C-alpha cells in the first residue's frame, strides 16, 4: 500500500491532521494500536483555545462543538477565602475559551473520517517506522488477524503520545529531552452533577490545590492535589467531596452538588519536552514530543498547535512545491511549546503546595496571587496565555 502521509495514532492530533490533509487531497492512513472503543473511552482535557476551535472549523468538525460547547469568557482564582475573577475577554480584546471534552473532539473527528471513507486501522500491532532519515520512508504493522502489512509514504506523522513508538524510533543521540517531575498528583472525578460555578475555579489552599471544572452543564470534573503515591482506592466519594469543599471559599463550597462519581483517577504531573520535533521525514506531534501539567489547560491545545504548523508545511510541500514549511516545523512548533510549558509551570508553582514551600515560599505565593489579581498588566499576561498565544 502507498499513502502520501502515514499517521501513527488516532487521538485528536492524528485525526485532525488527517482531516485537514484530506481537505487538500492528500491521502493518509492512520494506524492505532488500541481499539476504537478504547480511544473513545479516554478521559482527557476539556478547555479549547480559540485557535483550536478555528482549526476544527477549518477541518469541518466543529458543528457539534458550537451546538454543545460552553464558551467561557473568564476564570476565577480562589484564595484568602474569596473568588477573584480574571475577565479573559476584556483583557484580550474579546477572546475566550470553549469547554468541550477531548473525547467529544475525538468522536467528531472519527465520524468525519469514517463518513469520508478514509482509512484508519485499529488494533495495529508491532508498528515500526523505517528509513525516515531518507527519501523513501515506510511503516510496517500487523493487523488484528496477525497479517503483516507495509505502507510506503512520503512522510510519517508521529501522533501516538508519550509512550508511542514514534519518539522511541528516533536514535537516542539525536534527541535532547528536558523534564520536570512534580512532587504530587491530581485526584480527579467525573460526576453527573451541575458544576459549582459557571466558569473554572482554580483554588490555592493550605490543604492543597483544587480545581472546579466541567464537561457540560450537567457533568462536572473536579480535582484535588494529592500525594504522588496516593491510591484511588483510599478515596471514597464522600471523602473526596469533603476534601474538595474544604479547599474552596465558603460560597463556592456551598454550590458544590455531590453525587456518585463514574470515573476516578490519579494523574501524575510533569513537564517534558523532546527536541527537535522533526527527523528527516518523521515529525513528532503533541504528547509524542511534549507533556505539560494540566494546570494551564494546554495539552490538547499544544497538540492542535503542532498540527497547525505541520499541516501548513505539508500543504506548502504538496500544493506550493516548497520544502520551506516542513524545514521550519520543529523550530516554529517548539517556540510555542516552550511558552506553553513556561505558563503551565508558572500556574502549577503558583497554585500548588510543594513539600518544601515553607513559610517563606507560602508568603511568596500569596504575594504573587495578590499582585496577579490587582494588577491589570499581570492579569493580562495570564489571560493572553490562557486563551492562547498568537501563532
d(CA 385, CA 92): 10
| C-alpha cell at position 371 | 499582585
Q: How far is 263 from 23, CA to CA, in rounded Å?
A: 36
Helix axis angle, 324-351 relative to 358-374, nearest 10°? 110
222 is catalytic: no
C-alpha–C-alpha distance, residues 101 and 214, integer Å? 9
Q: Residue 300 corresponds to which cell in the numbers above? A: 490538547
DSSP annotation of 256 reads: P
The answer to whether 345 and 338 are in contact (CB under 8 A) is: no
Q: Which of 3, 12, 72, 332 is catalytic?
A: 72
Burial of 157 (0-12, 13-18, 19+ CB in 10 A): buried
Residue given cell 452538588 in the structure block: 257
386 assigned to active site: yes
| Catalytic residue flag (residue 298) | yes
Q: Which of 205, 294, 332, 352 is catalytic?
A: 294
For 26, phi then psi, to 5°, come to -90, 130
Place of cell 477573584: 84
Calculate the CA dihedral of residues 319, 288, 268, 87 and round it to 10 degrees. Answer: -20
Q: If you compute the radius of gyration of the chain from its CA atoms, what whole number of angstroms results? A: 21
User: Is 218 one of the catalytic residues?
Assistant: no
Catalytic residue among 100, 202, 222, 329: 202
Q: Which residues are within 8 A (CB) of 243 and not within 5 positions of it... i.e. 6 or more apart?
A: 207, 224
Helix axes 376-387, 358-374, angle to 10 degrees: 90
Pairwise CA distance, residues 69 & 11, whole Å: 19
Beta strands in 100-228 (DSSP E): 119-121, 125-130, 138-142, 148-152, 155-158, 176-191, 201-203, 210-214, 220-226
> Hey, how many other C-beta atoms are within 10 angstroms of the C-beta on 173?
6
- CA–CA gap between residue 107 and residue 123 (Å, rounded): 17
Cβ-based burial of 307 (10 A; exposed 0-12, middle 13-18, buried ≥19): buried
Residue 234 DSSP one-character state: G
C-alpha closest to that of 181 among 233, 232, 229: 229
Identify the active-site residue in 3, 95, 298, 332: 298
> In the structure grid, which three cell numbers stand for residue 52, read together?
483550536
Q: What amino acid positions are annotated as catalytic residues? A: 72, 202, 294, 298, 386
Amino acid at each position: 500500500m502507498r499513502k502520501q502521509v502515514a499517521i501513527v495514532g488516532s487521538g485528536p492530533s492524528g485525526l485532525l491532521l488527517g482531516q485537514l490533509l484530506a481537505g487538500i487531497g492528500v491521502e493518509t492512513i492512520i494506524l492505532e494500536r488500541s481499539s476504537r472503543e478504547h480511544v473513545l473511552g479516554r478521559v482527557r482535557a476539556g478547555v479549547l483555545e480559540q485557535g483550536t476551535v478555528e482549526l476544527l472549523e477549518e477541518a469541518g468538525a466543529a458543528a457539534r462543538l458550537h451546538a454543545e460547547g460552553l464558551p467561557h469568557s473568564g476564570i476565577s482564582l480562589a484564595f484568602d477565602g474569596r473568588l477573584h475573577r480574571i475577565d479573559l475577554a476584556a483583557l484580550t480584546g474579546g477572546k475566550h475559551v470553549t469547554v468541550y471534552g477531548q473525547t467529544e473532539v475525538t468522536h467528531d473527528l472519527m465520524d468525519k473520517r469514517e463518513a469520508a471513507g478514509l482509512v484508519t486501522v485499529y488494533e495495529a500491532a508491532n508498528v515500526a517506522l523505517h528509513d525516515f532519515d531518507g527519501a523513501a520512508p515506510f511503516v510496517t504493522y500487523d493487523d488484528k488477524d496477525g497479517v503483516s502489512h507495509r505502507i510506503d509514504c512520503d512522510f510519517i506523522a508521529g501522533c501516538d503520545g508519550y509512550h508511542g513508538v514514534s519518539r522511541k524510533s528516533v536514535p537516542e543521540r539525536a534527541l535532547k529531552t528536558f523534564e520536570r517531575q512534580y512532587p504530587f498528583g491530581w485526584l480527579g472525578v467525573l460526576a453527573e452533577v451541575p458544576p459549582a460555578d459557571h466558569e473554572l475555579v482554580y483554588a490555592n489552599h493550605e490543604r492543597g490545590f483544587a480545581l472546579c471544572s466541567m464537561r457540560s452543564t450537567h457533568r462536572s470534573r473536579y480535582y484535588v492535589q494529592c500525594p504522588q503515591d496516593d491510591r484511588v482506592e483510599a478515596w471514597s466519594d464522600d471523602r473526596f467531596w469533603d476534601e474538595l469543599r474544604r479547599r474552596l471559599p465558603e460560597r463556592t463550597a456551598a454550590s458544590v452538588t455531590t453525587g456518585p462519581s463514574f470515573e476516578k483517577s490519579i494523574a501524575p504531573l510533569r513537564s517534558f519536552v523532546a527536541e527537535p520535533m522533526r527527523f528527516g521525514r518523521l515529525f513528532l506531534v503533541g504528547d509524542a514530543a511534549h507533556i505539560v501539567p494540566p494546570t494551564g489547560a494546554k495539552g490538547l491545545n499544544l497538540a492542535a498547535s503542532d498540527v497547525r504548523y505541520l499541516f501548513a508545511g505539508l500543504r506548502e510541500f504538496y500544493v506550493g512545491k516548497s520544502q520551506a514549511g516542513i524545514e521550519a516545523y520543529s523550530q516554529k512548533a517548539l517556540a510555542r511549546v516552550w511558552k506553553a510549558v513556561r505558563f503551565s509551570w508558572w500556574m502549577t508553582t503558583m497554585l500548588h503546595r510543594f513539600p518544601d514551600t515553607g513559610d517563606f515560599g507560602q508568603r511568596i505565593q500569596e504575594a504573587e496571587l495578590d499582585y496577579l489579581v490587582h494588577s491589570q498588566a499581570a492579569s493580562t499576561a495570564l489571560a493572553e496565555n490562557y486563551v492562547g498565544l498568537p501563532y
